[in-house]
Structure 1
Amino acid sequence: MSQLQPVIQLQQMAELMLNIPDVQLWLNKAVAWGRADSQDTQRDTCLHLSRLKDFLQKLLSDINNKSSTTETMKRLPILGRLLGRLCWNPCVLADATSRGLLFQCLWGLYSEHPGNALERKTNQWIQKVLRLLAAEGKEGAAEALMKHACVPPKEYHLRVLRKKVELLQQNIGRSCSSLGDISQRCSCDDMRATSEACVPLVTCPEAAPLIDALLQKPVSCVRAALSKDFLDALSAAYSCDCVSLEEQSVVSLWYHNLSSLEEAVLSLLERVVTNTGLKPVEVVQRATQSLLPKACAQHCSIFLVVSDIFRSILKQTEGSASVWYLIQTFTICFLRQLNLQQHQMRTSMKAFFPQSPQSLLVPLLTLPSDMPEEAWRSHLNWLSGSLQRLTEEEEERDGDSSTRGLCTVFEAWFLLVQCAHWVQVAVQLLVTSGPEDCLPLLWLLTFYHHPTNRGHRRAEQLVRAKEAWHHMHSAFLVSVHPPPVDGLQSLAALFSPHPQQQSPSPLSILNLIVNFAAFARQSLSASTEILQTVVDRSGLVDEAGSVLSSLKLTLNEGSDANRVLLRIKALEDTLTHPHTPPPHTHTH
C-alpha cells in the first residue's frame, strides 16, 4: 500500500492540473457568450454553469499549487483573457459560488511583492478589473479591491461615487423629447427617484455635477418634478454655505423651492436694512450679487414672490429710507436684466405687474434715459395728473369699493416706489421750476412720501411742501455770499416738528435741499455753506451724504450732467470733512 501511495498522489495531481486545451475550451465559450445580452446566450451560460464551477475550482487549485504568478501565467498564457471575459458576464457573477471562485482566482494571481515585469503587469490588470467591477456596483468587488488591490476605502468609495454620479447624470440628460420611439418609457420618470437618491449627497462635492444637471434640466414634462426632500435638503445646505452651485442652478432652486426663494429675499433685506452705514453703491452691489434680479427676469413667478415680500415689508416699515432705496435699486437691476433677455423669451410687463394700474405701467417703467430730456417735464406732469385723478376718484368711494380703491391707490404708490427714478427727476426739475409750474411736481413728491390722506394727511403735507419749496427757492437764488442768516434759519426750521401743523417728511425736505445744492446755478461755495449749515443743525449729515451718493449713481445723462457731477463730489467732500472751508469760487 505504501508503494502505491506516490502513484495515487500523482494521478490526483494530474486530474487537478489544467492544460491549455481546457482553458481554450472555456475561453471559446466565454467569447461566444459575450455579456450574455440575448436570451439564448443567457440560457446557454446557465446550462454550462455547473461545469464552469468545476473548472474554476480546478483552476483555483492549480493557481494555489504554483510557486508564483509567473509560473502560472507562463504555463497558461491565455488565462487572463478567460478571467477577464468571465468577469463581465452577468450570469456568472449572479451565481454566488462561481462569483466567489472567480474572485479567488484573481486574488490568487495577485502578487503582494511582484518580482518581475510580468507580475507587476498582472497586478495592474487585476486592479483595473476590480475597480471597474466596483464602479459598476458588482457585489463583492469592493472587498476584493480594498483587500487585495491596495486601494484605501476612502479612495474606493470616492471612485464609486464619481462613477455613479456620471451614470445618473447621463441618464437624466435624456429628455422625453429626445425619444425616437413614442412607445419608449419617458426618462423623466427617473427624475424624482434620482433626486431622492441625492438627498444624502447634497454636500458632497463629487455630486455637484449631478445636482446641477437635475436643477438645470428643462421642465418639459409633468413627470420631471424633483423630490421635495431633495429641494429642502439642498436649500438648507445652500443657506449654510455647505454647497456650491452654479448661478443657473441657484436660480432653478429658487424656481422649484418657494422657501429657499423667500429666505434669499429676506436675507437680502436683512443685509441692507440692518446695516445703517451701507452706502448706496453697496446696496446696488448686494442686490446684483444676490442673483435675484437675474432670477426675476428669467421667471415671472419668482418676480411675483419677490414683489409680494417687498409689498409686505413696505407696509410694515413705512417710511424706511433703506427699504425704499432697496426696492427702487432692485427694480432698476431687474429692468436691466430683463432687457438682456432674448426678445422671444420675454414675458409681458402686465404679467410681471398684474396688480398695478395698467395705464401707469409703461409710463413709469420707462427709464428717463430712454426719453429726450426736454420731454421729462410734460411726462411728469401727465404722471402727476393721472395719479392725482386716481387717488381722488378712489378715495371718494364708499363701502366695499372704498377698500378696493385704497388697494388701487396703494398699488399705484408701490409702483411709484419701484420706479422712483421719476421721483428723482421731479425733484431735479423742481430746482429750475417757477411757482407756476412746480405744483404738479410737488404733488408727485408729496404723494411719494405721503400716499394717503388717512393717517398721512397728504393735503396738509402738500401745503407745507409748497412753503418749503419757496424757502429753498429763495435761499438758493440769492447771489449774496455768505447767505442771509434768516434764510438759513428758515430752512433749518423745516426739519423741526411744528406743534400744531403736520410737518413734511424729513426725507422729502432733505432730498429737495440736496438737489437744490447740486443743480442750482448758485455759486458752489454758497450752496455748500447752505447745505452744510442746514444738515448740521438738523443732525442729518449722514443722511445728506447718502442722498448725494445715491444722486451720483442715478444721475441721468444730460447737457448739465458733468457740471452737476463735479458739484456733487465737492458737496460730498465738504460733508465728509466738515472742518475744511468750503471752496470760495463763483464757478457754476
Structure 2
Amino acid sequence: MAQESVDLSCDYQFWMQKLSVWDQASTLGTQQDTCVHLARFQEFLRKMYEALKEMDSNTIFERFPTIDQLLAKACWNPFILAYDESQKILIWCLCCLINKEPQNSRQSKLNSWVQGVLSHILSALRFDKEVALFTQGLGYAPIDYYPGLLKNMVLSLASELRENHLNGFNTQRRKKISLPMSAVVCLWLRHLPSLEKAMLHLFEKLISSERNCLRRIECFIKDSSLPQAACHPAIFRVVDEMFRCALLETDGAPEIIATIQVFMQCFLEALEKENKQLRFALKTYFPYTSPSLAMVLLQDPQDVPRGCWLQTLKHISELLREAVEDQTHGSRGGPLESWFLFIHFGGWAEMVAEQLLRSAAEPPAALLWLLAFYYSPHDGRQQRAQTMVQVKAVLGHLLAMSRSSSLSARDLQTAAGQDTETDPRAPAQQLIRHLLLNFVLWAPGGHTIARDVITLMAHTAEITHEIIGFLDQTLYRWDRLGIESPRSGKLARELLKELRTQV
C-alpha cells in the first residue's frame, strides 16, 4: 500500500507537468502528445479516484495541495474532455472534493468552484455558449460550426423522411447524419477510439460480405471515408497498422492482401484528388522504407508506358532485394516490412507472372526473385534461390508447351509438377498454380483446356476459393489498367461465374 502511495505521488508530479505543457493545445505537437498519452492519463485518473474516495476534503488537500489545479487543467483541455471516459472519471474525482456540510467560507468557495467545473463538463458538448471551447480546439469557430452542423442535420433528416415516405418507413435503409470530411478528420485525429471503431466496422462489413468480390470491397472502403481521411499521415499510419495486424492474425490471407491493395488504390485516388503534389513527405506515410522505393511503387502502371513495365519491375526488384538481403543498407523493418510495403501496390505485384509468361526471352532473374519474394517473404536467401530455379523450370516447360499444337490439362499439370504429393498450401505451389492460371488465360491454346486445368487444380474448397480470388483480382486489375484481351477477359468472366455457383 505504501508503494502504491509513492507511485501515485510520482505519477501526480508527472501528469501535473504534462497538463501544464498541454495548456498550449493549439500546437500540433501538444495535440499529438495528448492523443498518445490519453490512455495512460485515464488510468492515472482512475487510480487517483480510488485514492480520493477514501479521504475527506481536508485530507485530500493535505496530500495533494494542487489537486484542484490538476483537475481544472484536465477539465479545460478539449482533447481530454472529448472522450466520454475522461469526462466520467473527472466528474468522479471532482465529486470527492465537495464538502457535504461546509464549515467555513473556504470550503463553501471550493464547493462553488467544483459546481462550476462540473457545469462546464456537462455543458461543453451541448448546444450552448460553452461549446465554443471544444469547437475551437478542433479548429472550428462557432460561427462556422453551427450553420454547417444544422445544414447537415436538416438535409439528412429531410432525405431520411423522403426515403421513409417512399419505402414505407423501411428502417433498414435509413441514412445517417453526415459530417464534412474535414470534421471527420479532426474527430479521428483527436479521438483514436472512433477511428478504430470505423476500421472495425469496415472489417465487419468485409467479413459478412461475399468472398473475393473486389468491386464490392471497393464500395465498402470508399463509403467508409477512410481513404480520404488517410491523406493525413497520422490516420494513414493507424489504418495501415490495423491492416498489418489483420494480415498477421490471418497468416497472410489472400483476401486481406487484396483488401489492402484495393484500399491503397482508393487512398492514392483520394490523395490525387485532394492535391496534385504531396503535402506531406513520403517518409511520413512509409517511415520504414527508402523514399526511392516508395516513389517507384507509387507510380500508377497506367501512367507508365507499357513498354517500360518490365524495366520498372526490374528496378522495383533491385531496390527490394537491396533492402531485404543487404544487411548493411537494409531497411529497419527487415524483409517483412519490405514485403508489407510491396503488397500494397497490386498493380505491380500481380503483374510479375504475366510479364514472365508473355515474354519469349530468358526469364529475367530480377523478376524471378520478385515473384519468389512476393509469395514467400519468410524464406531465406538459399530457399528463395531454390524457388527461383523451380519457377524458371516451370516457365520453360510452359513456354515450350505454348508452341505445341495439342495441349492437355494433365500434361500441363505434370509439366508444372502439380501431380506430386507436395503440400498444396505451400507458397511455391500457390505460385505455380497462379502461373498455370495465367498460362491458360494468355496462351493461344490455353483457352481450350482452361476448365480441365481448373478441375484438376480445384480439388479442395480452399483452392477453389483461391482460384476465384485470383480470377476476380485479375479482372479487377485488367479493368483498371485496360490490358485484357477480349478473349482472355471473356474466358475469365465465364470461369469466375461457373466457380461461384459451385461454392
The TM-score, its normalising length taken from structure 2, stands at 0.60
Any residues of structure 2 matched to 1:368-447 within 5 Å, and which?
368-394=301-327, 407-434=333-360, 436-447=362-373
Match of 2:413 in 1: 488
Match of 2:489 in 1: 565
**Alpha-carbon shift at residue 306 of structure 1 (Å):** 1.3
Which blocks of at least 5 consecutive residues in structure 2 are unaligned?
1-117, 142-173
Q: State the Cα deviation string for residues 166-216 of structure 1 (Å, max 9, x = none).
A: xxxxxxxxxxxxxxxxxxxxxxxxxx99885255x6xxxxx69x9999769
**Alpha-carbon shift at residue 554 of structure 1 (Å):** 0.9
Q: 1:289 aligns with which of 223, 246, 249?
A: 223
Any residues of structure 2 matched to 1:88-487 within 5 Å, and which?
197=123, 199=125, 219=139, 244-248=177-181, 249-273=183-207, 277-297=211-231, 299-343=232-276, 346-394=279-327, 407-434=333-360, 436-454=362-380, 457-481=383-407, 483=408, 485-487=410-412
- Residues 272/196 of structure 1: CA separation in 2 closer, same or farther (3 Å cut): same
| Higher RCO (Cα < 8 Å, 6 or more apart) | 2
**Alpha-carbon shift at residue 545 of structure 1 (Å):** 1.6
Q: Calculate the aligned-residue CA RMSD, in Å.
A: 3.9
Q: State the Cα deviation string for residues 439-467 of structure 1 (Å, max 9, x = none).
A: 32221111112224359943333333334
**Alpha-carbon shift at residue 280 of structure 1 (Å):** 1.9
**Pairing 1:497–2:422 present:** yes
- Residues 504/220 of structure 1: CA separation in 2 closer, same or farther (3 Å cut): same
CA distance in 2, matches of 1:375, 1:445: 18
Identity of aligned residues (%): 25
- Residues 557/216 of structure 1: CA separation in 2 closer, same or farther (3 Å cut): farther
**Alpha-carbon shift at residue 434 of structure 1 (Å):** 3.7
**Alpha-carbon shift at residue 570 of structure 1 (Å):** 3.0
**Alpha-carbon shift at residue 330 of structure 1 (Å):** 0.7
- Residues 350/465 of structure 1: CA separation in 2 closer, same or farther (3 Å cut): same
CA distance in 2, matches of 1:215, 1:552: 46
**Alpha-carbon shift at residue 475 of structure 1 (Å):** 4.6
CA distance in 2, matches of 1:528, 1:215: 61
CA distance in 1, matches of 2:387, 2:422: 12
Equivalent residues of 1:215, 1:253 under 8 A apart: no
Match of 2:48 in 1: none
Match of 1:525 in 2: 448
Q: 1:575 aligns with which of 486, 496, 499?
A: 499
Q: State the Cα deviation string for residues 302-346 of structure 1 (Å, max 9, x = none).
A: 112112222333334332111111111111110000000134773
Match of 1:91 in 2: none
CA distance in 1, matches of 2:278, 2:413: 55
CA distance in 1, matches of 2:341, 2:380: 20
CA distance in 1, matches of 2:291, 2:190: 29
- Count of residue correspondences: 351
The TM-score, its normalising length taken from structure 1, stands at 0.52
Aligned AA for 2:410? V
Pair member with larger Rg: 1
- Residues 294/492 of structure 1: CA separation in 2 closer, same or farther (3 Å cut): same
Equivalent residues of 1:461, 1:504 under 8 A apart: no
Match of 1:42 in 2: none
- Residues 216/570 of structure 1: CA separation in 2 closer, same or farther (3 Å cut): farther
Structure 2 counterpart SS, 1:303: helix
Q: State the Cα deviation string for residues 128-159 of structure 1 (Å, max 9, x = none).
A: xxxxxxxxxxxxxxxxxxxxxxxxxxxxxxxx
Which blocks of at least 5 consecutive residues in structure 1 are unaligned?
1-191, 202-206, 222-240, 579-588
**Alpha-carbon shift at residue 508 of structure 1 (Å):** 2.4
